[in-house]
Every structure is written in C-alpha cells, then in structure tokens.
Amino acid sequence: MKTFKSLLAILISVSFLFFFGCNTESSITSPETSATISKATLTDGLQPELVVFDLSPEERDGLIHMRLEEKLARDVYTTLGNTWNYKVFMNIKVSEQAHMEAVKRLLVKYGVEDPITNDEVGVFSDPQFQALYDQYVTQGNVSAYEAFMVGKTIEELDIADLENQLNNVVDNPDIIRVYQNLKSASESHLAAFNKCLTGIPQIKVAN
C-alpha cells in the first residue's frame, strides 16, 4: 500500500510539471492537452440550457468582470509567453481561453451582452483592464522573474475576486459551479507560478 501511494504521488507531481512546468516552450508537447482538460472540467455539471435560474444585477456585473479578467490573464500570458518562451505561460494561456469560453457560455445563456467587443490580444474597451494589461506587460518585460511575479499577481487577483463572488454575491447554481471550477484552476496556476519563482533568481535592476 505504501508503495502504491508513493507511486501515485510521483505520477501526480510529474503530471503537474508536464502541464505547467517552467521549462521553455521547445521542451513541451502540444498545449492543447491541458486545454481539453480545462474545458471538460469547467463545463462539468452545468445545468441544461432550458433550466434558467434568477440572475441578480450583482451577478450580472460579476460575470462581465470575470469575462474581462480572464481575457486579461490570457492576453498577458500570451504576450509574456512570446517574450520569454516559458511553457508555463503558453499552457496556462490555453487554460485561460477555456475560462473565457466558460464565462461566455453563461453570458449567452442569461442574455448578458458580452463586454469583449474586440478579442485581439492586448485590446480592451474597458480603461481599467487596458491599464492593467499595459502595467503587467511592462513589469513582465523586465525579467523572467518579474514575468512570473505578474502571473502570481494575476492568479491571486483572480482567486480573490472569485472568492468574493462565491462568498458574498452569487446564489445562481450555474454561476457557482463555473466559479468554483475557475477558482480551482487558478489555484493550480498560482502553484505553478510559485514553483517557477523558486527556481529562478531575482534580478536586481539598478535605478
């Protein structure tokens, strides 16, 4: 039994590193594998389209905010992944695309207008998110360490916003299920960025 448990722990660790490790993109297979897992998890248990629950104005605003926040994560990771060529950005970028689609499915089901009118990377109609994108990309371009710090910051922000929605705002079962899955995924992403931060030295930039 101990041998089986040890083997299981090793397999879990290897799988985690395979999908979200800190090696460069050249050492990875296709990132679509992790995206498929994310989509299956995010849509699991969603009520049929004909079952529609009440949607409060606060829940509506939350969906709009989370849709933009997931785009922010996808766009920043896309840009920083192109800059630094670490597979953690490229894999999680694909996962964030799945998150965007999960929230959009809720927007469509409940007749909420999509706040994303231009899906181009780095383009936001909302000034707040445009400013955040510009800020995070500027910071992440300093060094790979700072890029990982940006990933850590974004995931912590995402988790905090999802926890606030789940604890203080949302009663709709559809939204609860999706937000719980988003939060679980973000916690995995945060763990991946924290692991990357422990494996790369911080570069001090002179003033």
Which of 69, 199, 202 minimizes the C-alpha distance to 133?
Answer: 69
Residue 137 vs residues 80, 121, 122, 145, 157: alpha-carbon distances, Å: 7, 12, 9, 13, 16
Q: Are 20 and 188 in contact (CB under 8 A)?
A: yes
In the beta sheet, which residues pair with residue 86?
24
What's the confidence (pLDDT) of residue 48? 57
What's the confidence (pLDDT) of residue 20? 55
In whole angstroms, give the CA distance from residue 27 to residue 189. Answer: 19
pLDDT digit string (tens) for the chain, length 207 residues: 444 344 434 333 434 444 456 766 533 333 333 443 445 456 555 555 668 899 999 999 999 999 999 999 999 999 999 999 999 999 999 999 999 999 999 999 999 999 999 999 999 999 999 999 999 999 999 999 999 999 999 999 999 999 999 999 999 999 999 999 999 999 999 999 999 999 876 654 443
What's the confidence (pLDDT) of residue 67? 98
In the beta sheet, which residues pair with residue 24?
86
Task: Map out the domains of the chain as residue ranges.
Answer: 2-198
What's the confidence (pLDDT) of residue 36? 38
Which of 173, 14, 161 minimizes the C-alpha distance to 73?
Answer: 161
The 10 Å CB-count burial string (b at 16+, else e) for 31-40 is: beebbeebbe
* Chain centre to alpha carbon of residue 201: 24
- In CATH terms, the fold of domain 2-198 is Ferritin (1.20.1260)
DSSP-derived secondary structure for 33-51: HHHHHHHHHHHTTPPPTT-
In whole angstroms, give the CA distance from residue 131 to residue 27. Answer: 33
As given in the structure block, the two tokens for residue 88 are 């953690």
pTM: 0.79
What's the confidence (pLDDT) of residue 8? 38
In whole angstroms, give the CA distance from residue 111 to residue 83. Answer: 38
